[in-house]
Structures are given as structure tokens and as C-alpha cells.
Structure 1
């Protein structure tokens, strides 16, 4: 299981070696990875259908409760099949769509990284590793959205998407940490057994807020939805894979997964119902005013995601069943419509729906796929979308006092989605073929076969819902309810009922709107009148304000002069130390406990004093550096006097290296220093005296504290037993504090690279000016 999750990263890492050999003629071979993973995960379907939950455990950092534990149940199985199944078709589609692209292998690497990130996210049982994969989806999607990096619009869209989802990721991390603290475990399976403990804890509301922000930003819920339409600047395979079937559903998965832990609570249900309802209606209305096919599909996707959040918020058995079905319904028809849009753009050079018609005459198979997807999107029998739409109305009608209002919102949303689906699925293919497109031809089968497969499944599952009833849908509902799911049986016909009437109203209203409302620039202009008060514009203004404040702060505090940085740090520390020391610390120095001062110490101290004077007052850079080196060597001698040869050797090495580096850096600079004015020197001297005096007082206070040897004894006793090292200091640095040491090494390496780059830098004359 671990290999299957990480396989995408392995492929991406190997592409610099094998990518150039495959991207020319054998790019389709890349699809073998998601296809083999699809078959692998499909092999677990019999066990999942028998209500078995499979757990695969791999130790990672057990000391802090973080492990690679992968949990496969109905919910995670559905998502893994969507990720790998639709991923296989997207990989195949990409081989033809980006044929001849110089960076095709790089694109496949990003897709593979994203696929593995999503698999890790939906399979993780540990909430910390879940978060890690969550962030990896944001990073890999950043590269995919900005793949056309020569386009400014693509770069801005990728940064916006990363900014919004990364912002939500920070809140999610906090939520996961607090949830693990309150629940006493980072395991989702164990947290399901601590529901009462979590929901009764004072931090429960904080957990909800943090998790909601993470989920809403990733799944484009109002008011965080605006990044998704901008992400349509990405190539069509990205829009298909990320923005219809996988990444945008990560937030939906998160809410569904934690429904047994955080759900069935007033705050949980009310928030999701309100946010989901606003999002689905708002985005559904926006979709009917768009002209760009990707824009239409983007807003209809946001609306569909709102429906899923809304259903999870309702939280009833019927609502969770409707959500489970709609996840699959939406993935099938929306992925199809995105793939079809890519074909239209690829062959005609436009996505403007007002200019497209009659394409059935030149690319009939593509039109068939689009038509079938539009039928499923509209919920017209015998499509699987009809089953899904009926279940939505079944859920809203049984919600109590709010049934009429919530059902009305669902009807309005579905009418708008039907209209948007007809615009994308029917309008470009019906009617008279413009002369401009008479030379358009049917593309490669690699482009139109994948959408045909997905669209056909949308019809097949509608005619024969038993194909996915027990095998997929019931295990998903069981996972969200954390109990049995034998209360339903999917079927196409439910008889004459109120639900059928609502479906008829939806179909009639949507079809009528399609014939009445003609997409045009005028309609789009009316919609853009409200742009100044849109969440995107408001966020842009807040960002601009923040940028202005940051720029002003930076120009004053971070102005490029190292001396001001040092002054700022020392002033802050002086205030902090002064406040703490004079708050009530009783300073006392017991002279009797101190060792006698030897002549050697007096001589070394005198040398240090003379060196300090030379360092401060000399006009020569090299003399100042040499004097600082002398101070360092004197400290080495002090360490030797007090039986610390390890520290002395370390100090000696560091000081020697520092002097050498300073000499190399200063080699090309003027030999003599231009001393600063008297006022600056007085300021710096006073600050140095104040800070040095505070440090001295702090040292005296430390000497008065009772010596605790528990930690020292622990390291002395366990250093050899646990780390097999006799030098305790080295063991602490390398083993007990290995993470700190690793980070310090990385920082030093980065600094060394920076210094080396500056030494090698050769500026042009115009750059020097």
C-alpha cells in the first residue's frame, strides 16, 4: 500500500532520467501507472462490500504519534477509484492534447505527484500525515495550474490558488493538532470512538472553525470560491483532473470523513447548511451568465461542491446517501464536459459558447459524449444524474420546518446547473455549422474515447444502479454514518411522488431557460456590474492594503542595512530582558562559591579587552577581522581552563573558518573603513553597554539558580544505551536533537550557497548602476 501511494512521487523523481525517451512517441505509457493502481484498488472492492475495513500500518515517527497508517473503507475506496480511474483517462488524453510539447514529461511528473498526494490524503488514517498530503496537493496543483508559465495570467492564477488553499491549510494544521490533543490520538479510527469527549470539550468550537476554513478554501466554498474560476487558465487535463473530480473534492472528503467525529452537532450542521446553500445558489446563478466554456464549468463545479457541503450539513441518512451518489455523478459528467471543452478549444481555437454551433457535423463522437454528460448533469432519465437529483430532493423534503425553503434552493440550483450543462454539452454541437469551422476534423481517438467512456458510465449506472449500489455506494454511506447502511436500495424509478414532480419542474424550468436565455456579452456585462463587491475584489483590496502596510514597514525596518537589523533585534531583546529582570528578580552573587581568579585568566581577559578596543576603533577592515579572531581564540582558552576541550575545539574551528571567510569576502572591498558619525557611534556604544549589562545580570541570576542534574543524569545514563555513543555532547547533537542539527546544517548550506553565488556574481554595467 505504501508503494502504491508513493508511486507517483517515484515516477516524478525518475522523469529527469527517462522522461525524454518517452515524451516523444511513447507518452501514453505514463498512463500505465494510474491504470495499474486502479486495478489494484479495485481488487479490494469485494472486501469493502463485505463491510471490512482494511488498515495498513507503517512506522514513521512513532515517538510523536505520526505514522503512515492507511485506512481503506468505502469512502476512501470511492475516492481512490475516482483518482486513479479518471486519472488513467486524463493521462491518456494528455498524450494527444499536449503532443509535441517540450515539457510534456514535466507535466506528467506534476500529474503523478498530484495523484499520489490525493491518494495519500484519502487513505491516511493519521491526521498529521493527512495534512502533509493535503499540502502536497496544493503544491503540485500550483505547478499544474501555472504550467504555462510564460503566461502572466497563468502565473497569477497559480499564485492565487496556492495562496487561498495554503491559507486554509494553516488553519487545518492548527485544527488537526487541537483535534489530536482533545481526542488523545492522531488516528481517525480512534477519534471516532472519542466523539462524545471531543464534542463536549471547550475547544470543540475552535476545532470546527479551523477545520471549516481548511475545507472551504480547498473546495471553493463562498467566500473562498474565487480562486477556482481563475485556475481555468491551466491546460484542460488539469481542469478535468483537479477541478472536477479530485482536488476540489478534498474538502468534501475531509467533511465526509470527519462527519462521524464532528457531525450531528448544531454548529456543524447549521454552518454547513448555510455555507453550502449560499455557495450552490450563488455559483449556479453565476454560471448562466458566462460565455467561456471553462468559466461555465468552473461556476457549475462550485455550485455542485456547494450541494455536497449542503447535503453533508443536513446530516440525515437520506442526505448522506444523496451526497455519496452525487460525488460519483458529478465526477463522471463534469470530467466529461471538461475533456470535451478541451477538444473544442484544441480544434476550433475558441471556447466562446456564443460563437460555437453545429460541431456534431464534424466531430460526432465528441458531441455524443457531451450530450450524454449533459443529460446526466440535467438529471434526465435514464442517466445516473436522475437518480442523484431525486435523492437530493428526497433529503430536503424530510428536513422538517425548513423543508420548503431548502428544497426551493435546491430546485433553483439544479435549474441553473441544467442550463449550464446544456450550454456546455449541447449548444456547441447543435444547429448550423459556421463557415469558420468547416475545416475542423475529428481529433485523435485518444482525445474523444476518454470522455465517451465517462459519459457512457453516467448512463449505464443510471440504467443499472445495482452495479454501484452494494459495491460502492453502500460502503461510502456506511463510512460516513459509522454504522450499517442497509436502509436503501438504488433504483431508477421511484413511482409517482413529490420528488418526481420536483424533478419535472427542474427539467422543464432548465430546458425553458435554455431556449429563452441566449448567452451574450450583454448578459455578461450585467453580471460584471457587481464585480466591485465580489469576494475576489474585496480580497484584492485587502491584499492591496496589506501590501501597502508591508511595503511601508519594510522600507523603514528592513531597508537593506545590516546594522539597522542588528539594532532592531538588540533593542527588542533589551526591552524584553529589562522588563523580565527588573520585574522582581533578586540578584545576589555568592562570591564564596566562585573559583579563584588565576594569572592566566587575567592575562586572557586583558588580551580580550585590547582586542575589543582594536575591533571597535580601528579603521582597517582586516585589523578588525583579526581582532575578532583573537577574541574568539581567547574564548577557546577560557573553555580549556574550565575543562571543556570539545567546546574549545569547536570554537577554534568556527573562529578560524569565520576569519578566512571574512577575509575572502572583504578581499575586493576598500582596505579602510569609513567610520560613522559620532552620534551613531554613541548610540551603538550605549546599546552595546545596555545589552551587555543585561546579559551579565542574567548570567548572575543563572548562577543563583539551584543546579538541577536530572537532565544531565538522563543523558549520561542513556547516551550509550540508546545511541551507542560515549561522547554525550555529540550524542545530544546528532541523536537527541537530530532534527535541530539537520535544520542548522540546511541553513548553513543555504547560506554557503548564497555566499558562493555572491562571490561568483558578475554584474553588467547597467545592473551595477
Structure 2
């Protein structure tokens, strides 16, 4: 890739984030008309990526990037082939109309500028995810989509339902992101690849590895949570608490398609195994049926569409995992068709809500004459969703049945699942598109009328695109469908299906689907009542289970905190030093690293005198009658160590030790005098024995490990390095000072931070009035427990 093209692609990837920074200022200056300016960002991105269509259609791939963390061989890199390019075009193309739609839908909203920032960051995150090459880049953008969707779903943060939905989406998809990270690490460990392009060149290496199943389950954990596969489907309908522009974008081209993208991306290297071709169809088929049945229960237009999105995602996962090239072609066609008709229908639902004041399908009817353009957009989208010719959805449905109806019991079962799911989605799609607009005029909260161009431009263009792409299917397949299917299959695939019906089993199954869809549509009220009764009888579901899990976690954390953080300093100290003793002795004993017992050296009389002073100080600390005497006596130990440093030829260390010890004694004495602690030791004999034992173990452990260190052959590599580079690199003659300040300056900064925190803690202790803090803390703890129980 040419250098100028590489820079331009990098600019395109960060452009949404730059636009997010500018959005509040533009909105403050232009109001909702800022949408026209901000929409130029995704429009330019679409134009840029469209420039790669010709090369990718000829089988080329584009890989480029920049070194990010060279020492770890981590790059900020991107990879364009038929799969990533199609996603990039969908995200930017639909994103253009979403930005425009947002300006009309949220006109006059006091936080419109903030919303534009969030939606552009969301767009940039998804754009980066689908074109990312390196594993780390993929993971960073993957998590960014979770964070930005959290901001968008909880945009109306004054409402509890919005906050709950945002938290739920973040928890579920965030945990899935951790699963994906673990899976990527396992894959990197198996293959040595740290980028998708390198992984795709590995062939069967991943499938043949013993850790393949672990990698598969971890990766699918990330994909299934992101794309709302059963039983993780519950967060997606709850995300409808977000403003409609978010719902339209989320369900058509962005976050929920990320899991599908990941599965499609890894199909060439993880597919064609029994596990892949079992897990994906089972979970995908289950999600398809569950989603459509739950959609049947709803009366809110957005929720009806949301559950059909869950179903559609299940269908895509099922097709990708089925294991045939025709099924892959079907998945590709359906993904493109779904992006267009679902984005259009969500914007239609938002326009209806905006102009009538309600989304309840039972309170809507007869608004077609008042909103003719919106009605036309809805019908166009529903025709594609229903799989009727000559729309792109028809091509997808025909290919679905051509891919699944291949004979055999397993194929027959999945075909039946697809027919049932498609028929229910047919009914739901036409219910959304027809019932609000036809029939007798309903009494709505607001008098309906056609919305401004910002509200109907997007759905009309997307609905029309579903028709035009099918009419020129040869061209569409050449630049979109075939390159994308080839990338998913891992080998050249030529999609050739056209709008001209071909008599055969797929067409017969399509006719059956339409007939069942019409029947479901005509009995929609009875079906809704039956599903409501069924769900009431079942009662418990994953959504309620999520709340129970959260409450249980809070209660568990409160209980654990009450045990391990009970407010008793003596318990904390005992546990800490027991852990220290275990950390010292267990490794030495387990790995046979106990030191050899050294002989007693012959010491000069002055060194013996210093050691005797140290032992005398130790006795003074132990037998001191009050704490102040013990603190002063403790300084004797430090001064003895300082004398040893001096005698061994380290005057700078000796001086430092003298200063530190003096300051420590003064500060501790000051604190103890201010706290007015009891001078007597009221510990029972049993507690004293325990404390002496623990202290002896810690002292013995430290002594043994120091002895073991001194018995290891000396490696002078670091000493030589510091001696040679202290003056050259750090421009200092004092090697010790240079080490502390320069070579390990970050470590020194950490030590200073620890001292500062300890000082602040001491200051807080000094300022506490005896008897007040414990009572206040106990009251706060009681209130916290009551709140958790409530």
C-alpha cells in the first residue's frame, strides 16, 4: 500500500474520534443542522473505502499499519478483504444516514452535541474493529464498542431503566471481551500469529492443535455475548432504552454484528470441525426460534424489531457454522440485506414515535396518509425482510434454503428451523410496516404528520437500496457478495443467484415460508396472547437471572468484606505476616532451595560490638514497658545497621540509614503521643505466643532467603552495566544515586508514593478523635448492609 494511501486510511480510522471532539462545538453553533456537517465524516469514510472495491473484487487484499509497541512486536495495523471491506462500507454508509437521522430525531435536545460525540465514537470503534489486523488492535476496538455503547444506551441517564440496560450491556459484553482476549492469547500461543492476516495464512495449524477446543470456546464466548446469542440474548432488547438512532445503528451495522464478523473472520481457520459445525448451528438455531417467539409477544415497535434482530443474528451464526459454501453465500447475502432493511425499519419506528407520540402497535393505525414517505420506506424494507422478489432479501432467503436443504436429518432439522424463523420474521416485519399505517385512524397522543427530511431520508434510501442491489445483482455480487463470501469461506466463491425465480426446492420452501408468514400475520393477536401466557407460566428468564446474579454478587462482596475487612488492625497484621511467612518458606521447601548452613566467621571486636548493640536494642524493644520506649529502642536496630554499612565501606548508605531511622523514630513517637494509646500490653499469653511465633517465622524466612541469595554465584552483569553507563547515559558520577534516580526512577517514584500515602494515613490517624471514628464507621457499615438487603 502506498505511503500516502496508508496515511489516508489511518486518518479515516481516527476521523470519527476527531469528529466526536468537534461535535459539541458544532452543535452549539449550528444546532441540529450540525448533522449535515458531521454526516460528511462517515460519507468521506464510505467514499475512501469504496475506492478499494475494484482491487478487492479482483482478489487482492490490503494490509498496512504502523509499529505501536515495537519491543512487544505489536502494531496498529489494518487488513482489508471482501469481509472487512463490506462491513466498513455498511458501517460508514448506514452511519451517514444515522447521523442525519439523529439531527432530526433529537432536534432541540439539550445534550444533542454529546449524543453526536457518542455516536461518532461508536462508529469509529466499530470501524476500527472490522478492519483491525493485529490481535491487540482488534481487542482494543472490541472493548471500545462496549464502552461507547454503554454511553449511548445510558444516554438518558435520568431514567433507571436506561442505566440498568447500559450496565447490563456493559457487563455481558465486557465479560465476553475478556473471554475473547483469552482466546486470542491461546491462538497466539498455538500458532505464533499475532495478526489476523498471519493467522489466516496458518491453514490447519489451529484446527490440529490440542488447545483448539479451548481457543474455540473462548472466542465463541466473546462472539456469542456480543451478538446476543442465547442465553446471552437478553441484553439486546433491553438496549432499546437508548434513543432510536442508537437502536437503528446498533441493530443494522454495528455492535451486534461484531460477533458475527468475528465468527465469519475465523471460519477459514476454525471451521470445518465437528465442534464448529455443531455448536454454531445449535446455538444459532435456538437463538433464531427464541428471538422470533419473543418478538411475537411484543407490542412495542422497537422491541418487536429488536427480538427479530436477535433471531437474525442466530440465523447468521447458524448459516456460518453449517459447513457449506452455499450456506456461507446465504449468510453473506442475508447480512447485507438485514443491515439495510433493519436499519430502515428501526428509523421508521422512531419516526412513528416522533410524530405520533407512541410506539405501541395496538394504539396505532391509519397514519399512512399523514406519513406517505415513511409508509413507502416501511413497505420497501418489509418486502426485503419478508424475502419477496425482487428485493435483496429474496436472494438471501433463496440461498438460505439452497444451502440448508441438502438432505440428511441434521440439514432437514435446520431447514425446518429456518422456515419457522423466517415465517415469524415475515409476520413481524409486515406488522411493523403495515399495521400502524393501514386500517382505521387511531387516536394517538400527537396528531401524525410527515417528519422532516432528516427523519425519512435514511429509511427511504436504505429501503430503495434493497431493491436496487437485487435488480443489479450481477454487479452487486461482483463487488460485494462474492469477495465477502470468498473471505468467509477461505477460498474463491462466485455468488450468482438473481432475482429471476428458479423452480426448485428453495423456491418451494420460500413459498411455504410466505404462506406461513401470512398465516402468522393474520393470527398475530392470538399468537401474542399465547406467547404472553407461555412466558407468564415459565416466569424465570435470563434477564431476571442477571438481576439475581448482580444482587447475589453484591451480597457476597458485602459478606466477604465484613469478614476480611472487619476493622481490627491486629487481625490485618496477623494475616499479612502469616502470608509473608508462607511466601518465604513454601517455595524454598517445595523446590529444595533452603540454604546451606554457613560456618561462624571470625569477626573483629568492633563488628561483634555492633551486633551486640543490635541484640541489646532488640531486647529493649521486646521488654519495653510502654510503646514510646519501644519505638525509641527500635531506632537502635537501624543505627546498628547504619554502623555496619559504614564499617563495610558504604558511607552514603550509612548516612541514608541514619537519616531514615531518625525521622522514623521522631514521626512514630509523635504519632503515638498524639494517639494516647494505652502504655500496657493487654494481649493474653496465647496471643503473645502466636505473635512471637509468626514474627520468628518471618525473621527466619527473611534470613534464610538472604543466605540463599548470597550462596548463588554472583552475576556482575548489572554492576558492569551501571558502572559503564552511569556517566554516559545519566551524566552522574555517584552510581548509587544514578541507579535510584534514573535507572530505576519509576521504582523510586513508586516508593515515594507509598511513603506519601503512609504519611496521609498517619495524618488521618493523628486527627481522629478517640471513640468517634469507630462509632461512625459502625453506623456506616450498618447502613450499607441495610441498603444491600433492601
TM-score with structure 2 length normalisation? 0.86
Asked if 1 retains the 8 angstrom alpha-carbon contact of 2:128 and 2:138, the reply is: yes
- The alpha carbon displacement at 1:402 in A equals 2.4
Whole-angstrom distance in 2 between the partners of 1:549 and 1:94? 42
| 232-241 or 534-543, which deviates more | 534-543
| 585-594 or 469-478, which deviates more | 585-594
- Candidates 702, 724, 745, aligned match of 2:709: 702
Over 3 Å counting, the alpha-carbon distance change for 1:25 and 1:84 in structure 2 is closer
- The alpha carbon displacement at 1:184 in A equals 1.3
Q: Which residue of 2 aligns with 1:167?
A: 175
Aligned to 1:194, the other structure's residue is in SS state: coil
Whole-angstrom distance in 1 between the partners of 2:761 and 2:86? 47
- Candidates 199, 203, 214, aligned match of 1:195: 203
Whole-angstrom distance in 2 between the partners of 1:526 and 1:729? 78
Over 3 Å counting, the alpha-carbon distance change for 1:434 and 1:282 in structure 2 is same
> Are 2:494 and 1:498 aligned?
no
Aligned to 2:193, the other structure's residue is in SS state: coil
Whole-angstrom distance in 1 between the partners of 2:740 and 2:264? 43
Aligned to 1:496, the other structure's residue is in SS state: coil
- The alpha carbon displacement at 1:47 in A equals 1.7
Over 3 Å counting, the alpha-carbon distance change for 1:18 and 1:740 in structure 2 is farther
Q: Which residue of 2 aligns with 1:361?
A: 369
Whole-angstrom distance in 2 between the partners of 1:235 and 1:298? 13
Whole-angstrom distance in 2 between the partners of 1:733 and 1:47? 56
| 445-454 or 577-586, which deviates more | 577-586
Whole-angstrom distance in 2 between the partners of 1:534 and 1:747? 48
- Candidates 227, 237, 241, aligned match of 1:219: 227
Over 3 Å counting, the alpha-carbon distance change for 1:757 and 1:327 in structure 2 is farther
Whole-angstrom distance in 2 between the partners of 1:614 and 1:324? 82
Equivalent residues in 2 for 1:22-33, closer than 5 Å: 23=31, 26-33=34-41
Asked if 2 retains the 8 angstrom alpha-carbon contact of 1:612 and 1:631, the reply is: no
- The alpha carbon displacement at 1:693 in A equals 2.8
- The alpha carbon displacement at 1:386 in A equals 0.6
- The alpha carbon displacement at 1:445 in A equals 1.3
| 103-112 or 648-657, which deviates more | 648-657
TM-score with structure 1 length normalisation? 0.88
- Candidates 69, 82, 99, aligned match of 1:74: 82
Q: Which residue of 1 aligns with 2:3?
A: none
Whole-angstrom distance in 1 between the partners of 2:667 and 2:129? 46
Equivalent residues in 2 for 1:625-636, closer than 5 Å: none
Deviations, residues 72-112 of structure 1 (Å, cap 9, x unaligned) = 11111111111111111111111122222222222222222
> Are 2:695 and 1:691 aligned?
no
Q: Which residue of 1 aligns with 2:355?
A: 347
Equivalent residues in 2 for 1:725-740, closer than 5 Å: none
- The alpha carbon displacement at 1:306 in A equals 0.5
Whole-angstrom distance in 2 between the partners of 1:647 and 1:22? 66
- Candidates 154, 166, 176, aligned match of 2:162: 154
- The alpha carbon displacement at 1:738 in A equals 8.9
Equivalent residues in 2 for 1:137-536, closer than 5 Å: 137-398=145-406, 400-436=408-444, 439-486=447-494, 488-518=495-525, 522-523=529-530, 525-536=532-543
Over 3 Å counting, the alpha-carbon distance change for 1:110 and 1:741 in structure 2 is farther
Over 3 Å counting, the alpha-carbon distance change for 1:751 and 1:142 in structure 2 is farther
Deviations, residues 595-622 of structure 1 (Å, cap 9, x unaligned) = 86638955984797599669994269xx
Deviations, residues 34-59 of structure 1 (Å, cap 9, x unaligned) = 22212111122222122211111200
Whole-angstrom distance in 1 between the partners of 2:663 and 2:483? 64
- The alpha carbon displacement at 1:570 in A equals 2.4
Aligned to 1:60, the other structure's residue is in SS state: strand
- The alpha carbon displacement at 1:704 in A equals 2.6
| 593-602 or 146-155, which deviates more | 593-602
Over 3 Å counting, the alpha-carbon distance change for 1:57 and 1:430 in structure 2 is same
Deviations, residues 293-312 of structure 1 (Å, cap 9, x unaligned) = 22111111111001111111
Whole-angstrom distance in 2 between the partners of 1:31 and 1:628? 71
- Candidates 132, 140, 149, aligned match of 1:124: 132
| 192-201 or 277-286, which deviates more | 192-201
- Candidates 553, 556, 559, aligned match of 2:566: 559
Asked if 1 retains the 8 angstrom alpha-carbon contact of 2:357 and 2:444, the reply is: no
Aligned to 1:258, the other structure's residue is in SS state: helix
Whole-angstrom distance in 1 between the partners of 2:667 and 2:531? 63
> Are 2:10 and 1:2 aligned?
yes
Over 3 Å counting, the alpha-carbon distance change for 1:754 and 1:612 in structure 2 is closer
- The alpha carbon displacement at 1:517 in A equals 2.2
Over 3 Å counting, the alpha-carbon distance change for 1:723 and 1:370 in structure 2 is farther
- The alpha carbon displacement at 1:659 in A equals 9.3
Whole-angstrom distance in 1 between the partners of 2:717 and 2:348? 69
Q: Which residue of 2 aligns with 1:672?
A: 676
Whole-angstrom distance in 1 between the partners of 2:666 and 2:331? 67
Q: CA RMSD in A?
A: 4.0
- The alpha carbon displacement at 1:323 in A equals 1.1
Deviations, residues 244-295 of structure 1 (Å, cap 9, x unaligned) = 3210111111111111111122211211111111111121222111112221
> Are 2:607 and 1:598 aligned?
yes
Asked if 2 retains the 8 angstrom alpha-carbon contact of 1:619 and 1:673, the reply is: no
| 50-59 or 587-596, which deviates more | 587-596
Deviations, residues 14-40 of structure 1 (Å, cap 9, x unaligned) = 567666445565354222222221211
- The alpha carbon displacement at 1:481 in A equals 2.4
Asked if 1 retains the 8 angstrom alpha-carbon contact of 2:390 and 2:470, the reply is: yes
Instruction: Give unmatched runs, 5+ long, in structure 1.
Output: none
Asked if 2 retains the 8 angstrom alpha-carbon contact of 1:361 and 1:433, the reply is: no
Q: Which residue of 2 aligns with 1:572?
A: 579
Equivalent residues in 2 for 1:107-122, closer than 5 Å: 107-122=115-130
Asked if 2 retains the 8 angstrom alpha-carbon contact of 1:321 and 1:391, the reply is: yes
Whole-angstrom distance in 2 between the partners of 1:402 and 1:719? 72
Whole-angstrom distance in 2 between the partners of 1:359 and 1:104? 28
Deviations, residues 123-180 of structure 1 (Å, cap 9, x unaligned) = 1111122112111111111111111111111111111111111111111111101101
Over 3 Å counting, the alpha-carbon distance change for 1:590 and 1:526 in structure 2 is same
| 729-738 or 467-476, which deviates more | 729-738
Aligned to 1:417, the other structure's residue is in SS state: helix
Deviations, residues 510-546 of structure 1 (Å, cap 9, x unaligned) = 0121112217874453143255442333444444444
- The alpha carbon displacement at 1:557 in A equals 0.8
- The alpha carbon displacement at 1:197 in A equals 2.2
Whole-angstrom distance in 2 between the partners of 1:652 and 1:499? 90
- The alpha carbon displacement at 1:739 in A equals 8.7
- The alpha carbon displacement at 1:756 in A equals 11
Over 3 Å counting, the alpha-carbon distance change for 1:585 and 1:51 in structure 2 is closer
Over 3 Å counting, the alpha-carbon distance change for 1:520 and 1:394 in structure 2 is closer
Aligned to 1:198, the other structure's residue is in SS state: coil
Aligned to 1:361, the other structure's residue is in SS state: coil
Whole-angstrom distance in 1 between the partners of 2:625 and 2:86? 70
Whole-angstrom distance in 1 between the partners of 2:187 and 2:588? 37
Aligned to 1:455, the other structure's residue is in SS state: helix
Over 3 Å counting, the alpha-carbon distance change for 1:444 and 1:200 in structure 2 is same
- The alpha carbon displacement at 1:759 in A equals 12
Over 3 Å counting, the alpha-carbon distance change for 1:91 and 1:24 in structure 2 is closer
Over 3 Å counting, the alpha-carbon distance change for 1:231 and 1:565 in structure 2 is farther
Over 3 Å counting, the alpha-carbon distance change for 1:54 and 1:373 in structure 2 is same
Asked if 2 retains the 8 angstrom alpha-carbon contact of 1:290 and 1:524, the reply is: no
Aligned to 1:70, the other structure's residue is in SS state: strand
- The alpha carbon displacement at 1:729 in A equals 7.5
Q: Which residue of 1 aligns with 2:4?
A: none
